Chain A
Amino acid sequence: DIQMTQSPSTLSASVGDRVTITCRASQSISMWLAWYQQKPGKAPKLLIYKASTLESGVPSRFSGSGSGTELSLTISSLQPDDFATYYCQQYSSAPYTFGQGTKLEIK
């Protein structure tokens, strides 16, 4: 099974900050990685797929990069609506494991 190690687990930042969340895979997943945003009591929302492709309707301040075993999500200028929990998921091979999540908090 492919293990996904996501860091950091918690991130404190301010509106306007640039932040980066990283996922490391235990083996190469090529570009088969998605990033999701989840707010309390809600279902996850797809932000980015295939490592760097922005889902329709997602603001351009979100971007994804990387391939293989190290991939990242960057938010270029945090907005109040961005404070949430973020998860990566590999869909290269089953089981399609998620990272542990990163809770993005207001500093």
Chain B
Amino acid sequence: EVQLLESGGGLVQPGGSLRLSCAASGFTFSTYALQWVRQAPGKGLEWVSAINEGGEITKYTDSVKGRFTISRDNSKNTLYLQMNSLRTEDTAVYYCAKRMTTVTPGALHIWGQGTMVTVSS
């Protein structure tokens, strides 16, 4: 069974850092691009970041550029999101998601259960 399992969320003060992890199983991890999507409490979905299969190409939404870094370790089947200089507006459930295709543009067909990040003093 294809699965994604996020971890690393928690409570952090403004200006602090946190690293989220997403452990994958059930598919050839190194073959697929992956993404992070977040959802603030009571709000809609917001796309955050993407990384290609090999980890060389990364993309970010403007509000996290320069503060968040997406990376992956294909030997450990794990995706990461390093979050620095956290702001209260980064408070959200963070989901990792797998793109359904390997080459052409693809929708997100497998999602983790999410991990909550709360930025508050």
Q: In whole angstroms, how far apart are the Cα atoms of A101 and B61 in the complex?
A: 19
Q: Which of B2-41 contact A (CB under 8 A)?
A: 35, 37
| Minimum CB–CB distance for B106 against chain A, Å | 7
- A95: interface (CB < 8 Å): yes
**Residue in chain B with minimal CB distance to A47:** B107
Number of interface residues of B (CB under 8 A): 22
Interface size class of A (residues with CB under 8 A): 20 to 34
A44 neighbours in B (Cβ, 8 Å): 37, 45, 95, 108, 111
Q: Which of B59, B107, B112 contacts A43 (CB 8 A)?
A: B112
Q: Which of A47-93 contact B (CB under 8 A)?
A: 49-50, 55, 87, 89, 91-92
**Residue in chain A with minimal CB distance to B46:** A98
A91 pairs with B106, CB closer than 8 A: yes
Given the known A-B contacts A49-B100, A96-B47, are A91 and B107 also in contact in the complex, defined by CB atoms under 8 Å?
A: yes
